[in-house]
Amino acid sequence: MREFIYEIIESLRRNKLRTVLTGFSIAWGIFMLMLLLASGNGLKNGVMRNFSDNTDNTVILFSGYTNLPYKGHARDREIIFDNTDSILLASEFSETDDIMPVYELGYKQIFNKEKYADGNLTAVTPHYFTARNVRLKQGRLLNRLDMEQQRKVIVIDEQAAKRLFDTNDVIGKTIVSDDITYTVVGVYSTTQMEWRMSFYIPLNFALSAYNTENRFKEMHFTLNGLTTSEAHENFDNTLRKRLARKHEFDPEDYGAVYIANQYLGYLKTMSIFSALTTFLWMIGIGTLVSGIVGVSNIILITVKERTKEFGIRKALGAKPASVVRLIIAEALVVTTLFGYVGMAAGVIATEIINDLIEKTTTSVNTEMVIFQDATVDMGIAISATVLLIIAGALAGYFPARKAVAIKPIEALRYE
């Protein structure tokens, strides 16, 4: 066994440059595959984090303006929701849960003595925070009693809390907006892609104070029992036709009401990333194949250069299996050694890149990220390396078969 190992090392040593160049192509192939897959995963995780403010079963209705005349109504007519739309969703569509009208009061300033913060003031129901995955940092979110008693309470962004108060203990403190004094009951942090801060007050209070007609332009609700894209598409089409009949607009007029089905958006995003992953795998496998071809070439050249040696071995009684074993072992050594080097370098590189991305994201103090967790599952990395080693063994097998097929007398005459 010792002689066998020494023989492999000596063979590789005699062809240092060729061995190193071939090994580099293998290591580079594994390294690039890991970087490509890590980049794809990082992009996917970053985008999914940015869009994680909605649960997958949430649907958002946005009112708009008609683009088409319909039944005597002129175009450019504004569609506005009211409480009857909530009743319609609850009574006629069994798939709907947690119907949440949303009333946007617009861009406001909230004050704490001489300090102020700017942001969107939005009136919501308690279910809104669950549907939007709002993450509580201090205190509590709005609840049922806030709605029933029309309390003047507010939930603010953590950035607004830092700007308005010099202390981290802000729960119970008061702020003013539109000459109305609110008590801060909660501070939240979120991954929403908003460049403005947002503040939330109970819907019932806002309707009584600002909107006695109970009219609003946005509604959220969740769906249950729909598990396929076809079911969601059918629901959207049925809902659009029903709203068109109620508000008297053309069902094909998509500007009148916009239906944002988060589940369908999620499926579209996943299909894009599936295509991206497939594309990256194709590039990575192509790089690996070039390394395998390199291994095959070096073995072919080695066999050609050692033809006379193999002839002498066979003439002295060496079995063909021993020659094949020697050549395959050389191929395995090259692919295993440099495959491991490429995998290790890929792991180190992805960890460094991931660490730099996290530090950059923290330093700019933003919730919006492009890359997150840009790493590769170790199972995939090890599997790719094992496949490369198997391919290297096959790459050595065929030249070995060619070597043992030569008759000893022909091999001895070979120049």
**Could you report the per-residue pLDDT of 34-92, keeping only the tens digit for each?**
887 777 777 777 666 655 555 678 899 999 999 999 988 999 999 999 989 999 999 99
Residues in Cβ contact with 22 at an 8 Å cutoff, skipping those fewer than 6 apart: 291, 294, 295, 297, 298, 334, 338
End-to-end Cα distance, the chain: 30
| Residue where the block lists tokens 């203990």 | 169
Selected residue with higher pLDDT from 133 and 219: 219
d(CA 263, CA 260): 9
What integer pLDDT is reported at residue 91 of this predicted model? 92
Residues in Cβ contact with 355 at an 8 Å cutoff, skipping those fewer than 6 apart: none
What mean pLDDT is predicted for residues 350-375? Answer: 64
What integer pLDDT is reported at residue 314 of this predicted model? 73
What integer pLDDT is reported at residue 54 of this predicted model? 55
The one-letter amino acid at 245 = R
What integer pLDDT is reported at residue 55 of this predicted model? 62
What integer pLDDT is reported at residue 53 of this predicted model? 55
* Cβ-count burial 287-316 (b if 16+ within 10 Å, e if not): bbeebbebbbebbbebbeebbeebbebbee
d(CA 155, CA 188): 7
What integer pLDDT is reported at residue 45 of this predicted model? 72
Q: Which of 334, 279, 265 is nearest to 15 (CA)?
A: 334
Cα 38 off chain centre by: 11
Selected residue with higher pLDDT from 237 and 7: 237
Per-domain residue ranges for the chain?
2-52+267-413, 58-258
What mean pLDDT is predicted for residues 251-264? Answer: 90
What integer pLDDT is reported at residue 295 of this predicted model? 67
Structure tokens at 236: 């959207």
pLDDT over 70 at 19, yes or no: yes
Residues in Cβ contact with 127 at an 8 Å cutoff, skipping those fewer than 6 apart: 98, 100, 222
Contact by Cβ (8 Å): 239, 93: yes
What integer pLDDT is reported at residue 361 of this predicted model? 58
Instruction: Kindly report which listed range (142-146, 322-326, 333-337) carries the lowest average pLDDT score.
Output: 322-326
Confidence of residue 11 (pLDDT cuts 50, 70, 90): low
pLDDT over 90 at 364, yes or no: no
| Residue where the block lists tokens 């073995």 | 299
d(CA 375, CA 351): 7
Dihedral angle at the C-alpha atoms of 95, 130, 368, 348, nearest 10 degrees?
-90
Structure tokens at 406: 């030569």
d(CA 292, CA 397): 13
What integer pLDDT is reported at residue 49 of this predicted model? 63
Percent with pLDDT over 90 in the chain: 27
d(CA 414, CA 394): 25
Confidence of residue 8 (pLDDT cuts 50, 70, 90): low
* Interval 209-244: pLDDT, tens: 987 778 889 999 988 888 888 899 999 999 999 999
- Specify which of 22-26, 105-109, 341-345 reaches the highest per-range mean pLDDT: 105-109
Contact by Cβ (8 Å): 221, 86: no
Contact by Cβ (8 Å): 246, 85: yes
Query: pTM for the complete prediction?
Result: 0.62
What integer pLDDT is reported at residue 332 of this predicted model? 79
What mean pLDDT is predicted for residues 138-151? Answer: 94
What mean pLDDT is predicted for residues 115-126? Answer: 91
Secondary structure, 3-state, the chain: CHHHHHHHHHHHHHCHHHHHHHHHHHHHHHHHHHHHHHHHHHHHHHHHHHCCCCCCCEEEEEECECCCCECCECCCCECCEEHHHHHHHHHHCCCEEEEEEEEEEEEEEEEECCEEEEEEEEEECCHHHHHCCCEEEEECCCCHHHHHCCCCEEEEEHHHHHHHCCCCCCCCCEEEECCEEEEEEEEEECCCCCCCEEEEEEHHHHHHHHCCCCEECEEEEEECCCCCHHHHHHHHHHHHHHHHHHHCCCCCCCCCEEEEEHHHHHHHHHHHHHHHHHHHHHHHHHHHHHHHHHHHHHHHHHHHHCHHHHHHHHHCCCCHHHHHHHHHHHHHHHHHHHHHHHHHHHHHHHHHHHHHHHHHHHHHCCCCCCCCCCCCCHHHHHHHHHHHHHHHHHHHHHHHHHHHHCCHHHHHHCC
Instruction: Kindly report which listed range (62-66, 86-90, 336-340, 366-370) carries the lowest average pLDDT score.
Output: 366-370
Q: Which of 100, 19, 13, 25 is nearest to 293 (CA)?
A: 25
